[in-house]
Structure formats: structure tokens, C-alpha cells
Amino acid sequence: MLKTSRFFGLLHIPGFKPLAAATLMLGVAMSFTAPYLSLFGVERAGMTPFRLGVFMTLIAASGVLASTFAGRWSDASGRHRPLLLAALVLAALGYLCLCVVRDYRLLLVVGIVFIGAGGSAISMVFSFSRAALPVPDAAERVFASATLRTILSAAWVFGPSVGALVLAATSFYGLFLFAAASFAACAAIVWRMREPQGHLGDHTVQDTASEPSSSITVPPLTEPGEDAHEDLPGVASANDIGRAVAALTLLGLAANATMIVLPLYIVHGLSGTHLDVSVMLGLGALTEIPMMLALGAKSSRLHKPNWLAACAAVHALYFVAMSLAGNVHVLIPMQILNAFVVAVTSCLGMTYVQDLMPHSPGRATALFFNAARVGSILSGVLSGLLVQAFSYRGTFLFCGLLALCALVLFAVPGYRYPLMWRAVRRFARTQYGKLQSARSLRGGRER
């Protein structure tokens, strides 16, 4: 059980309350706009589906580039706040521009320069919190980060619904004005905070290197003890980091494709209603919160690769169950499985990548969020092609295959891949030899 005193203890950490308020305002702004940006492109800007896809892809790509640059710059300079402020200001200006701009070419400029670059604020606010919060204890630092992530998810519980009401009452003009005001309020809070002293605030490189979970590799799927992190020798290699990011990208690709296909599957494939879609999204966001808090509280004692591998397995099970569902009512409780996946990847995925790169928290955080963004870039075109070729159920099965690939990347250590490849080649040669022998034997009998 989580102790309430631990939550109240976070309030006494200098800087936690303004960071929590800034994260909440950022979550509100994103949850108000993200579900309706594509609707704006079609209904107000007159975009065709292809032009809308280009618009959304360029926004996502711009966010990837901006957060990558911000992570490298903040790690090199030790300053996180200036670029975070710049991203929030750009986002506010971008949504103000959407109130008046309708020309497609100008919208592309607004999307790339303002909205896409402003989207990098999500990753930067977490790298800023890791550096800014003076928490010497590693477990409490992880718990504080998970609590901030939970606040961000809490905004998504009510944000889309309230955004729909604002949209109905004031149209896109009022919706985007409210989003711009939320980004501006977030920037004002961050502006009043102090830049942490030193490269990583109180969390120096020396402190990080001594943490039990900082020197880890991607181990086999075993049953470790509570101090399993301490038994993992060596520092993570580039291959370890690459496999972790690739696995998170596959999970992000599958999750983003689901967000595109699920509403269509409910309404057109299973004859459901828009209310059913809202119930599923709300239930998923609501159940994520206690899971994230529990994972954040125990994160320092959990073996992250094992949990992420289990998360990938649950994701595969979720997709198979979705493909076999016969009606909408069966889908609703399945969203708890999806909430588990989101909670594990959000809480443990980000800290796992940061643990793999203990000296570069900015780049590690950017890598984690960019994995999801790369998945969002690929998911639009991929989901359309899959639905056209294999229908909704086939698309979910393909997403399940992506989750199984992520399971292998998390569960199998790097040195085993050459062994697995040689075993596959030996098996293929053996089977080919047996096939040739069987053909020769049949040919001899026929003669």
C-alpha cells in the first residue's frame, strides 16, 4: 500500500509544487488540442486526408528534432529552463496562429516552427524536473518523476471531454485560445523557478554513477531479487540502449496505430457509438493513475527490463483479444490491459532509458519521448495500409506481432542474438536438407 505521507513529503521538496502545476497546465493544453487537431485540419482548413497526413507527420518530425537538439544542448550546458521556456512560448504562439491561419502552406510553417517545436516541451519538463528537484535519494527522485507523469495523465482523464465542451461552445477559435493560455501559464510558472546549480542540479554525475540502477545491461528474463540492479555488471553499451529504444519505438508504433484504428473499429467494425469511444479512452486514462503511482513508489526495487518485457507480452495479449472481440462491450474491460502497458512504459520506460544513460539525462529523456514520436510518425501511413489490406482485425494482429518483437528485444540480451541467428540458419539448413532428401527419395521411387 502507498503511504499518503509519502505524497505529502513531495510537497516539501523545493520546486515540486510549481513543477506539478506546470505539468498539469501542460497536460491540459495538450489534452485539449491533440484529439481535435486533425478535425480542425479537415473541417476548418479544408485539408484532404493526404495533406492532413503530411501536416501531422511534419509536426511529429519537428518535435523529434527539437527535443533531440534540446536534450543535447541541456546536457552540454547544464541548463534546461531556457529551451523549455522557448518551447512553451512557441506552442502558445502556434495555437494563436491557428485561430486565424487557414492557408495550407502557412499552416505547414506554423506546424513545423511553432507546434512541432513546442511539442518537445513534454520531454523537456521531465528532464528539467530530474535536474531541478533537490532529491538526494534515488527512490524518491523516481517517485517524484512518476507522480509528475501521473499528473500529466490525470489531465487526459478530463481534458478531451472538457475540450469537446469548449469546442461546442466557442468553436476552434475558443479552443485554441484556451490552449495558448494554458501554454503561457505553464511558461509563467517555469519562468518563476530557479535554474538548478551545477550540471544536474543536486543530482551530479558522481551521484548518478553510484546509484544501484545506473550501471545495468539488458539481462535475460529471470527472477531477480530486490537488489538485482546491484548485481548487473558493467555500463550499458550503445547496443543495449539501441535495443531498449527500438523496443519502446515498436510499442509506441503499435499504441499509436491503435489510437487511430480503435475508434474506426468500434464505430464501423462493431457498430458502436461515439460514447463507447469516449468511455474506453476515459477508462484507460483513469486506470493508469493508480498503476503509475504504485509503479513510481516501487520503481527503485523493480527489475525494469523484466517489467517492460511483461508489458510487451500484455500488449500482445491485448491485441489478440481485440482482434477476437465479438462486440463493443467486450472491448471495454480490455482497456485495463492497455492502461497497464501505458503505465509501465511511461513510468519504467523513461527511467530505464535514463538509467542506461546516467550521465546524459536530457538526451535519455529525449530518446524516450522520441521513440513514441517516431512511432506516431510511422503509425498514420502504416495503419491506413494495414486496414486496407488486412481489415481491422488483421491490423490488431500485426500490432500484436510488433509487441512480440519488443518482448524479444527486452528479454534477450545482446550477446544471444548472434547465437540465435546461427541456430536459425542451422535449423533452416537442416530442414532444407531433409526436404531435398525427401524429394530425392520420391524421385527414386517414381523411377
Asked if pLDDT for residue 20 goes beyond 90, the answer is no
pLDDT of residue 196: 57
Query: What are φ and ψ of residue 125, in 5° steps?
Result: -70, -30
As a whole number, mean pLDDT of residues 234-251 equals 78
344-371: buried (b, 16+ CB within 10 Å) or exposed (e) per residue?
bbbbbbbbbbbbbbbebbbbbbbbbbbb
Does CATH number 3.30.365.10 belong to domain 233-414?
no
Cell digits of residue 185: 501559464
Q: Is residue 412 within 8 Å of 220, Cβ to Cβ?
A: yes
pLDDT of residue 11: 63
Q: Is residue 109 within 8 Å of 176, Cβ to Cβ?
A: no
As a whole number, mean pLDDT of residues 337-351 equals 83
As a whole number, mean pLDDT of residues 170-189 equals 90
Find the Cα–Cα–Cα–Cα dihedral 210, 247, 152, 58, rounded to 10°: 120
Q: CB under 8 Å to 441, separation ≥6 — which residues? A: none
Give pLDDT tens digits for 96-112: 999 999 999 999 999 99
CATH topology of domain 13-203: Growth Hormone; Chain: A; (1.20.1250)
In the chain, where the domains are located? 13-203, 233-414
